Amino acid sequence: MSLGVIDNAATTLVRAMAELVKKPSLMNKAQFEVRNCIGKKGKVTESDIEHLHFLKMIIKETFWLHPPAPLLLPRESISHFTVNGYEIYPKTLIQFMDSSICTKGQHFGLLPFGSGRRICPALYMGTTMVELGLANLLYCFDWELPSGMKEEDINLEESAASSLTSLKLVPKKHFSFHKTSAIVEIMNGRITNFAALCSMSCNKQVHQNIPTRSVSS
């Protein structure tokens, strides 16, 4: 159960960060909410999450756009086409409407952890990991793309398993004027230099750059 939670939570965190980097105005709004709520406390704790309403909406939207385990046996488009004026891009997940396999029609219920007697027992653990992880990343750092990389270069290709490609971002510490020298790489739930990143976010006395390390994928 713990391994499943860690993998799915990390995948959701990667997707949320990728979407926010592609939409800087939303990232700024989320950072303002978190930093305004936490102040100079140093880190976001579990008791703070209930006050971060916009952050919770971002996570729910991420679950909707990028479900960790999409629809069990997903159906997806293989080419670009248009339906009734709507553009459908390759690898878009498809739900069939008005058929025997779709009983709810337009009333889509987001249940990423299931429901009823068979609801995922790690629901609280999984959501808390994503909320705390994303909140602390937004609270402690400003984020940039590596030099030469553009927003459209971020690959959000979906997979029924873990993330297929890594997400590379440059963190800039929010509480000092020092810019980090390393590129943080998130791939399949593993964050390069994460220990150094955490030490910078939780210890205000640390004012040194994150050491650069080579990453093998």
pLDDT values of the chain reduced to their tens digit, one per residue, 217 residues: 555 556 677 888 888 998 999 999 999 999 999 999 988 888 899 999 999 999 999 998 888 887 766 544 456 788 898 988 888 888 777 666 665 655 555 565 667 777 778 777 777 888 888 899 999 999 988 988 888 888 777 777 665 554 445 778 888 877 643 344 445 555 444 444 444 454 444 443 333 333 333 333 3
132 lies in the same domain as 176: yes
142 lies in the same domain as 179: yes
CA quadruple 96, 97, 99, 105: dihedral, nearest 10: 130
Alpha carbon of 203 to those of 91, 133, 167: distances in Å?
A: 42, 16, 25
Instruction: List phi, psi (to 5°) of 118.
Output: -105, 25
117 lies in the same domain as 106: no
Domain containing 16 equals 2-68+112-202
What confidence score (pLDDT) does residue 160 get? 52
Q: Which two tokens stand for residue 115?
A: 């429901």
What confidence score (pLDDT) does residue 98 get? 60
In a domain, 215, yes or no: no
What confidence score (pLDDT) does residue 188 get? 42
What confidence score (pLDDT) does residue 69 get? 62
Q: Which two tokens stand for residue 77?
A: 């488009």
Query: What is the tally of structural domains in the chain?
Result: 2
In a domain, 123, yes or no: yes
pLDDT tens column, 10-69: 888 888 998 999 999 999 999 999 999 988 888 899 999 999 999 999 998 888 887 766
In a domain, 207, yes or no: no
What confidence score (pLDDT) does residue 75 get? 66
- CA–CA dist 88, 94 (Å, integer): 10
138 lies in the same domain as 63: yes
- CA–CA dist 196, 182 (Å, integer): 10
- CA–CA dist 217, 215 (Å, integer): 6
What confidence score (pLDDT) does residue 37 get? 92
DSSP three-state, residue 27: helix
In a domain, 144, yes or no: yes
DSSP three-state, residue 30: helix
80 lies in the same domain as 133: no
